[in-house]
């Protein structure tokens, strides 16, 4: 299953993008435990794109038998930076969540109006180390 949707470059677009992703992933048959994690990570990518990037923003979801891949494209040249913020910081943890919880992530150049894609993958057989202690 492959799907994509434009996302307005506004913080108010985060919740609708999250709902859209949840609906597409649910339609693709993603298991509930993976679904919640994927939606969290989608939220982090979309938040970074609408808060720090330039339009156009596009959300893509691709689910196959082995993994789910999510991409968010935007028009900014700056790439996300992995940070280790202090506990008192109010933000700066989104990329850290993606780094720790996804099977893989990165950036790739895009063509056309979008300049880059930020992506992550979650293998269907992968339990992120940070979540393994909660696995049944």
**What are 86-107's pLDDT values in tens digits?**
889 888 889 999 999 999 999 9
48 closest CA partner among 82, 88, 89? 82
- Chain-centre distance for alpha carbon 41: 4
* Exposure class string for 2-27: b at 16+ Cβ within 10 A, else e: ebeeebebeeebbeebbebbbebbee
Q: What is the pLDDT of residues 28-82, one digit of tens each?
A: 999 888 999 999 999 999 999 999 888 999 999 999 999 999 999 998 888 898 9
Q: Hey, what domains does the chain have and what are their CATH numbers?
A: 2-127 (3.30.565.10)
């Amino acid at each position: 299953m492959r799907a994509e949707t434009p996302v307005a470059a506004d913080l108010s677009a985060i919740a609708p993008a999250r709902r859209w992703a949840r609906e597409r992933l649910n339609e693709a048959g993603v298991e509930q435990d993976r679904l919640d994690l994927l939606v969290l990570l989608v939220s982090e990518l979309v938040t970074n794109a609408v808060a720090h990037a330039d339009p156009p923003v596009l959300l893509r979801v691709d689910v196959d038998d082995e993994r789910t891949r999510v991409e968010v494209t935007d028009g900014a040249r700056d790439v996300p930076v992995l940070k280790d913020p202090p506990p008192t910081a109010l933000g700066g943890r989104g990329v850290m969540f993606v780094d720790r919880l996804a099977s893989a992530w990165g950036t790739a150049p895009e063509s056309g109006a979008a300049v880059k894609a930020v992506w992550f993958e979650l293998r269907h057989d992968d339990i992120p180390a940070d979540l393994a202690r909660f696995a049944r």
